[in-house]
Structure 1
């Protein structure tokens, strides 16, 4: 960083235990910084007196660990040098140093928090700019499809007509909370036109999101268009002419698929001759069922039809592979960005695919940001790292003068006189069931604190046990996993 024609001189303060991590982070940064190790082990315990005794001079900025809460304003005046909070973790020092020109460090807020806030604001501005500069050929209730806009997430409600009104409303609201851009109503073979009208009207009444209907039956398509559907999935050579007039009258676009016994290109050509507004679906095949070949078909179609929006059914892959969905969805979104997909379509049909809508929305935003920056989808400020991490956090190096004892499990069990708990998940909360009451909450801490405040725990070993089990339950809740007390989570 430059300061009045010269480089700013930065000093990083730390303790003995973190010295190696801090020096490594400083050496990796583009912005040079010196490191001063003060006379204490743990850097978070640095006080103004430590800095006063060290009396560093010749620096424009002194950066102290982000976990410190002491007031350094007096020693800052004495030294005539800004003292500001760095990040909470040494692993983030490199990033902070490299972005000093973009942020104003604080004496109260850790640098990592400031950077996260700045990045979030910047990302939202970039995504707004992407949408504003796009020229989508199809706009559904203000949602642009194609034309350089961000890939949109279409979330399918499978067998929508078999749900009662309340359950359907809840499902639509859930998808909206997860970041869906559009809602698709999947229609089973036994649906009736009246069923279709009911679910479309419910969807239109619950949400402002565009609504599509998913069927090949002409009678159901006509009922859906009549009820106000914004998009139709799907038309082909068999049903196209039967529904074309209704689609034209209602100005309703349609997703076009291959078949029966005709190519996608032929069906697209016929639909365009009828004057229909179309989105092409070459159909993504499942893993080991033609996946690579189907991606090649997308690429070929894009080369010959660059202006027609593409529909990518990522659920065909996510639902048919036993792998964590966030990684699968991320790579499928990257492929979608490369082939020019406009819609990412998925249900959350199986338990393993739970969260796919949220993951695809995040992935679509990542790809839009990466496209704008002309970079791979990394270091964007948002990611899909859920179980792994970008940078390791520093471990603990025990002080050499302390005795080290190897931990051993207690061999005995003593029941808590205050009673015992049964712990489980109840909807989107953790439930801790005691003889006297049930405590519900979303975090282990709030449940354990409440149990202690109500004198439902009287033994330290019982409190420790509850803490372990409640933390497991919280992790399971956040990951969408099942939880069973006293069983391993992974």
Structure 2
């Protein structure tokens, strides 16, 4: 199959690099590829005097290119929005038709996601790094890793802690951090580390400033310690060095740049070789911008030291959906050279932060490779908004305005009580009737089961149940709570 790629002057280098020898490239007399029109394209192709099976025009180009296809007797499709993706599109274009209305990157979104995930695996396998914790690469060319803190892990029962570790890893945690409460004993820490290491498939860290607790965790084989500063380096520094454990070093009270640098030097003097620096991310309203500047300065002056980024300090202290906040924080973290994204998922509003940061980290890795903004990557953090709106319908001239029903009568077969149960697979809808209790993961399967069992006899009741059960499914998908008859 012979393919021609049409582009503009500014994108020529990227296009040629992306397509290699797999297609010919036609550079039109425009700077921006999106400005290519059918009337510019047709004479340029005729002048080139080539014969092609497929012509790909920029995904953002507008106009009716079907006239070009008809005139030349070949297929013309919209390519991807970004020139970098042409190589991947060409791999898929042979044997399948693309579109003249939808850019190839949107049309192939499912395949695009698989390609993005494959690319990430390849990038990570080939990436250099600044440090290693177990099999986990940190810094360098590797993607940012997510450290998930289990708050008050030392106070949890063994089964509860085991389940929490497994849950966090399933959500995308690359490192499990065990939070030690202020009342934790040495034995509490030993037990928590033993339990976590027994079930964890990723490195485990301990989160405390107490020297005795740090030593106990190292005795049980913890992989990383949080945190060291002037209050404990003199006491446990040599123990950390002898254990060969990685240490996160923080500044003293006040979070000054100078104290962070001083504490890092003290850690080195104690013989600690593997050090991660935490300049400390301050919450919005409490020095957030100054802390970002501190991060940028540290990475510029000490690029060889991995950087720890406490995203949870921001998400826990802002009443906003964590998805967008975490996406933005991932971008900031990448820009200041961070290698670890830290989050606790402590409050209800931040549930899902582990998965969000994991996806955000992958997006930044792909964007860096493509030298692009973190969009149109095959992965995204869009939950309530969409990239492309489906068309609205026109209101018929003879339409009738809807009216609320005057009143309800109880179904002779009895009412239903609808509820939800959250679980690691997304949750279950529960429909309770005096004759049966039905559970399911989708509204469709629950309402169809109710109908098949003959538990409903009135159309108004069926309509009501359909609305409520669908509302319950949406709540589960969004990680929200549900209450029957309440506004959602």
Match of 1:226 among 219, 222, 225: 219
SS in 2 for 1:384: coil
SS in 2 for 1:485: coil
Q: Give the Å deviation of 1:458.
A: 1.9
Would you say the 8 A contact 1:26–1:33 is kept in 2?
no
CA distance in 1 between partners of 2:96 and 2:406 (Å) = 50
Out of 124, 135, 147, the position equivalent to 2:128 is 135
In structure 1, C-alpha distance between the alignment counterparts of 2:389 and 2:461, rounded to whole Å: 32
Q: CA deviation at 1:487?
A: 1.1
Query: For 1:476 and 1:442, how far apart are their aligned partners in 2?
Result: 12
Give the Cα separation in 2 of the matches to 1:325 and 1:233: 24
- 2:151–2:344 CA contact under 8 A, matched in 1: yes
Name which of structure 1's ranges 128-137 and 341-350 shifts more when overlaid on structure 2: 128-137
8 Å CA contact retained: 1:96, 1:115: no
Unaligned residue ranges in structure 2 (runs of 5+): 5-22, 25-49
1:237 corresponds to 2:234: no
Q: Secondary structure of 2:409's partner?
A: coil
CA distance in 2, matches of 1:113, 1:282: 40
Aligned pairs for 1:430-469 (under 5 A) are 430-469=429-468
Return the alpha-carbon distance in structure 1 between the equivalents of residues 63 and 351 of structure 2.
43
Alignment of 1:60-139 (within 5 A): 60=74, 101-104=90-93, 106=96, 115-139=108-132
1:247 to 236, 240, 243: 240
Q: Does the alignment pair 1:476 with 2:448?
A: no
Q: Summarize deviations over 1:320-367 as a string: whole Å, max 9, x none.
A: 000000000000000000000010000010110010001000000000
What does residue 85 of structure 1 align with?
none
Gaps of 5+ in 1: 11-24, 36-55, 64-91
For 1:376, the equivalent position in structure 2 comes to 373
The residue aligned with 2:316 is 319
Whole-angstrom CA distance in 2 between matches of 1:27 and 1:354: 36
TM-score (norm 2): 0.81
Q: Counterpart in 2 of 1:269?
A: 265
User: 2:249 — aligned with what?
Assistant: 256
- TM-score, normalised to structure 1's length? 0.80
Q: Give the Cα–Cα distance (whole angstroms) in 2 for the partners of residues 138 and 458 of structure 1.
A: 66
Question: Equivalent of 1:33, from 57, 65, 74?
Answer: 65
Equivalenced residue count is 427
In the TM superposition, residue 452 of structure 1 has moved relative to its aligned partner by: 1.0
RMSD across aligned positions (CA): 3.1
By how many angstroms is 1:194 displaced?
1.0
Residues 208-227 of structure 1: CA deviation (Å, up to 9, x unaligned): 11000000001100010111
Q: How does 1:423-434 map to 2 (within 5 A)?
A: 423-427=418-422, 428-434=427-433
Confirm whether residue 160 of structure 1 aligns to residue 153 of structure 2: yes
Using a 3 Å threshold, how does the CA distance of structure 1 residues 464 and 94 change in structure 2: closer, same or farther?
farther
- Do the aligned residues in 2 keep the contact of 1:9 with 1:60 (CA within 8 Å)? yes
2:192 maps to which residue? 199
What is the match of residue 143 of structure 2?
Answer: 150
